[in-house]
Structure 1
Amino acid sequence: MGESNAQRIRVLADACAGEAVLRHVALDGAEQAFTWRELDDRSSRLAGALAARGLGAGDRLGIGLRNSPEFVFAVFAAWKLGAVPVPVRWDLPEWELARLREVVAARVHLSADDLAWIDTTADGPVPDLPDVVSPHGHGICSSGSTGLPKVILSDRPAFHDPVFSTPLMQMWRPVARPQTILVLAPMYHANGFTTLFGLLAGDRLVLSAKFDAARAVDAIERHRVTTFTATPTMLQRIADLPGIDARDLSSLDWILQGAAPMPPSLARRWCALIGPERLAMAYGMTEALGITALRGDEWLARPGSVGRGLRGTEIRILDDKGDDLPPGRPGDIYLRSASYHGYTYLGDAPRLPTTPDGFQTAGDLGHLDADGYLYLLDRRADLVITGGANVYPAEVESALIDHPAIADVVVLGLPDQEWGQRVHAVVEPADPASPPSADEVIAYAKSRLAAYKVPKTVEFTEIPRSAATKVNRGAMRAARGG
């Protein structure tokens, strides 16, 4: 199968020993730079220290660290021991973190308390390490739509495969390498972790300890960043920065948006900021069932689409009986792709529904057009059924986010005696000292949505987003009696 990830690290250390390939922007804005030689040596020494703590081939290494050089050292060290690196969210309440760690069942778990210990391994001889390959390249923790912790292990062993570091934009045109990749997402999220595959392919990383819109733009200008992956929330916060139109974004060759549907107004804003041919939008999931994508110029011709299947991805839209639906009819999105290597679940979360011929669904709803372009509506678990009508929260959120006094919004379905469920909007005002009124928000929604989709109730509060800018809708509903 070619080089293992561990072998690839050594090859790059020999070939590019003196070039700075990893830059870290700390919480206070301070920066560190590391060469491949330093990454190789530091991770080998850490691997030796982890082996002394009992970590070996096939074991799982829990990594509960912020984006940092130590995070990268730990992942590389796991690969060098044939262990499975499993990033673990560090921004969870203690009770939830304890439950997740029980599912991960790591032989060794590294947290912020271990940073000083990791730093003590920086010096000394580089140990001889076994030539082994992890049976699972990595794991990603997810709560999915059920709220139950689950760990998704890639069934692909830790071999270097250029397919997984090929820029998505290369599906449309050549992309110059090496890229300079700005890492905005926490590396416990798939969007953050997979940038390490670009590093193994010879790209350079600029690693942000935490997403901050202003610092992200500073980093783009200072380091001539050529690409990054971001959620719509991240892109919204960057686009809302004062003076963003005057900033130098010319180094950006292309960017990728994923993780959630892109509000149309925000897609058009980024098409104007960098050019539609430099914006790609994708739909996929941690289980790597397949991927769909399209470029900004395609999106302008098909607003709201998340593209067609790439890399051999096949798409079916099925009804509740498992029958295929025609173009334009919404149903459950099922994907299948021979390009991906499957996954293994840990934990008690329910497995994904699967058809007899191997199509699977992550619980999302959508429809296809006549040309095979997919339109994502929402997660089935988030669907609001009010008065017998289906309301997709993402559509309501896209309508409300354009209000100049709204910084963020999450729409939920809450129990209602008259309607079964009512559409409820949780709004974070742009200016907390001067929020819009509930009547103003409702009137704005009425001007943009069918009457049954308009929120019946509105509340104003700060929205609790994770470091990956995601929200736990289940927890938000439960806190409001849902």
Structure 2
Amino acid sequence: MNLVSRVYETAKWQPDKTAYHFMGKDTSYADFDQSVSMFASALQNLGIQEGDHVAFLLGNTPHFLISLYATMRIGATAIPVNPIYSPDEISYILHNSDAKAVVALDALIPLIEKAAGAFPSIGHYIICETSPEAGEKLAALPETLKTKVLLFSQVITTGRPDFQPVPVDENETAVILYTSGTTGHPKGAMLTHKNLYSNARDVGDYLGFSESDRVVATLPVFHVFALTVVVNAPLLKGATVLLIPRFSPQDVFATIRKEQATVFAGVPTMFNFLYQYPEGNPEDFQTIRLAISGGSSLPVALLHNFEDKFNVRVSEGYGLSEASPVTCFNPLDCDRVPGSIGTNIINVENKVVDEFGDEVPRGQVGELIVKGPNVMKGYYKMPEETAAAIRNGWLYTGDLAKQDEDGYFYIVDRKKDMIIVGGYNVYPREVEEVLFAHPAIVEAAVIGVPDQDFGEAVHAFVVLKNDASLTEEQVRDYCAGKLAKYKIPEQMEFLDELPKNTTGKILRRSLKTHIGVKSPR
């Protein structure tokens, strides 16, 4: 059994049940399955075969759901990519992933026109229309590109509605998710059909998902948290996914009220914006049986404030891309523990160990490691990184944690130096390397600082060459073409030198004492 075959079966036994709702329109499981069949067949017609890689530059639209399940249906591998990444970031992933086709938003047509020549392995760009101008933009493309750039609406009509799923071994790679890397480049976590199916099944069972649930999907669906919790798990259980194109408190409240939503999942930033929204009231969440927070730690004060205002229990869990992602969650059948990430979910084991891999006593801090059918097969084309991350069947998360006497886990500190901005991971080195490339910058270091709205913000410390002069705005403008918006430093200090130890290593913890102490230059 896998996700594709499960949806295929659901379409047979409850064909008229709504699979997803988008922009005022319901789509049944039968219609969804037919669209998946047609697009899968159409991809084969374009030469995409079992084992090939297809990248998605898509947001929260039906195109993503159809593309994901169609790609898996032919045994190809899906590569979800954040469409708001910078051209450099997108370019790296497309090259590294060996993508043979790209399914993209029409807003990216100018980028495709500019960069298509740099990707000779990509045979087709399939454009998803989200605006009336899509056809006109395609018509204006050079003749050399018109055979490679196609409209999704036209491609899907070439497929067969009776196309049967290709039999795929459960250990074959279904999805490669690129995670920010401490080496300056993201790593592609290879998740198998077994990984995805087992985690969706176990999360769905743990959270009590059923066909009567209506799950709000305002988290970006290309992110692993959303992929499992608000897409795969609900579809596996025959529930309804309520797709919201982009997060806004007004749209979330309106969707919950109008569509009688039963499950809401978000990152702490979303909970904060919903709590702060002046027009929010308890009635807005009265149909919600389960509110889920993940992506980063939810401040306990915000948790209590949100629960008091909306009369709903908020439950936290923990996960990471390499584990498909969920490993821990607060149980629903007993009191949850504020500040805790909960206990082991079904079929997954978490353990806190010392530097030798030996389990530490309860209450003692160590590294959190994970074992289960959800753990990735490895990083794409990175055997050394894979060997370092997976040892004796255990995934080493790099997160410091502790476990109490009742079996609840607590994250004490995150992976060294990582910054989480609104639920997105930012590793300092990837920002620092961009800063270092500026001709006027001689040194740079980046840390995370508290931010009221997004949990954390990127704070940069910059040392300029003696004869150089730069403003904060000039540095941000420089970063804008090379980094996603959330990775661009919100705050900045210009220092004469960075604090270092005797070996020349930058002392990141000491940098916090320099905040607000700017160089006269």
Report TM bin, short chain: 0.7 to 0.9
Q: Give 1:383 deviation, angstroms.
A: 7.4
Task: Show the 5 A alignment for 1:42-441.
Answer: 42-113=35-106, 114-116=127-129, 117-123=151-157, 126=160, 129=163, 131-134=165-168, 135-157=172-194, 164-165=200-201, 171=206, 177-194=211-228, 195-275=231-311, 278-288=313-323, 291-295=327-331, 302-337=337-372, 339-340=373-374, 342-348=376-382, 350-351=385-386, 353-354=388-389, 357-382=392-417, 397=450, 406-410=452-456
TM-score by length of 2: 0.68
Query: What is the CA deviation profile of residues 7-48 of structure 1, one whole-angstrom value per residue up to 9, with x for unaligned ones?
Result: 4333333333334321113xxxxx332122221222222222
Structure 1 residues 342-351 or 470-479, which shifts more?
A: 470-479
The answer for the alignment partner of 1:15 in structure 2 is 13
State the alpha-carbon separation in 2 of the partners of residues 246 and 256 from structure 1.
17
Amino acid at match of 1:222: K
CA–CA separation in structure 1 for the residues paired with 2:328 and 2:308: 23
Q: Is the 8 A contact 1:133 1:159 kept in 2?
A: no
Asked if 2 retains the 8 angstrom alpha-carbon contact of 1:317 and 1:331, the reply is yes
- Deviation (angstroms), 1:179: 0.9
- Percent sequence identity over aligned pairs: 20
Moved more, 324-333 or 370-379: 324-333
| Distance in 2 separating the partners of 1:474 and 1:92 | 15
CA-to-partner distance for each residue in 1:108-158, whole Å, 9 max, x for gaps?
111124114111145467255354234223232211444422221213359
In structure 1, runs of 5+ residues without a counterpart are 26-30, 385-392, 418-425, 427-460
Q: CA RMSD in A?
A: 3.7
Displacement of 1:202: 0.7
Letter in 2 for 1:313: V
Question: Structure 2: which 5+ residue stretches go unaligned?
Answer: 107-126, 130-150, 420-446, 464-471, 499-507, 509-521
CA distance 1:226–1:325, shift in 2 (3 Å) = same
- Taking structure 1 as the reference length, the TM-score comes to 0.73
Report the CA distance shift for 1:280/1:226 in structure 2 as closer, same or farther (over 3 A): same
Give the Å deviation of 1:249.
1.1
- CA apart distance, 1:286: 1.2
Measured in 2, the distance between the counterparts of 1:326 and 1:474 equals 40
Higher relative contact order (CA 8 A, sep 6+): 2
Counterparts in 2 of 1:132 and 1:296: CA distance versus 1, 3 Å: closer
1:454-465 correspondence runs (5 A) = none
Q: Distance in 2 between matches of 1:477 and 1:358?
A: 42
Cα distance, 1:292 vs structure 2: 1.5
| 1:155-194 alpha-carbon deviations (Å, 9 max, x no partner) | 3359966x624555x548x555321011111111012222
Query: What's the offset of the Cα at 1:324?
Result: 4.0
Relative to structure 1, the CA distance from residue 366 to residue 139 in structure 2 (aligned partners, 3 Å threshold; closer, same or farther) is same
Question: Structure 1's 476 and 326: CA in aligned 2 closer, same or farther, altered over 3 A?
Answer: farther
1:293-343 alpha-carbon deviations (Å, 9 max, x no partner): 21589776x442212222243333334454543333333222223x43532
263-272 vs 181-190, greater mean Cα deviation: 263-272
Alpha-carbon deviations, 1:229-267, whole Å to 9, x = none? 211111111111113234331110112111101101111
Residue 91 of structure 1: how far off its partner (Å):
0.8
Amino acid in structure 2 at the alignment position of 1:364: D
Tell me how far apart the structure 2 counterparts of residues 472 and 146 of structure 1 sit (CA, whole Å).
16
